[in-house]
Amino acid sequence: MKILSAPEQVADAPVKTGFGRKVKAYVALTKPRVMELLLVTTLPTMIFAAGGFPSLGLIAATMIGGALAAGSAGSFNCYIDRDMDKLMHRTENRPLVTGEVTPREALVFSWALGILSILILWFGANPLAGMLGVGAIFFYVVIYTLILKRRTAQNIVWGGAAGCFPVLIAWAAVTETVAWPAIILFMVIFLWTPPHYWPLSMKYSDDYNAANVPMLGAIASARQVSVQVVLYAWATLACSLLLAPVGGAGWIYTIAALLSGGYFVYESHRLYNLAKRGTETPAETNRSAMRVFHGSISYLTVLFLALAVDPFVGGPVFAGF
| 57-84 tens-digit pLDDT | 999 999 999 999 999 999 999 999 999 9
Binning pLDDT at 50, 70 and 90, where does residue 2 land? very low
Predicted pLDDT of residue 13:
53
Where do the domains of the chain lie, and which CATH numbers do they carry?
A: 22-178 (1.10.357.140), 179-321 (1.20.120)
Banded pLDDT at 316 (limits 50, 70, 90): confident
Contact in structure between 117 and 65 (CB atoms under 8 Å): yes
Position 130 confidence tier, pLDDT thresholds 50, 70, 90: very high
pLDDT band, very low/low/confident/very high, at 319 (cuts 50, 70, 90): low
Per-residue pLDDT reduced to its tens digit, 146-172 = 999 999 988 988 888 888 999 999 999
Tell me whether residue 57 is exposed, middle or buried, using C-beta atoms within 10 angstroms of its C-beta: 0 to 12, 13 to 18, 19 or more.
exposed
Amino acid at 127: P
Sign of CA dihedral 28, 154, 136, 37: positive
The answer to whether 191 touches 75, Cβ cutoff 8 Å, is no
The three-state secondary structure class of 238 is helix
SS3 250: strand
Q: What is the pLDDT of residue 148?
A: 92
Burial of 104 (0-12, 13-18, 19+ CB in 10 A): exposed
Residues present in the chain in total: 321
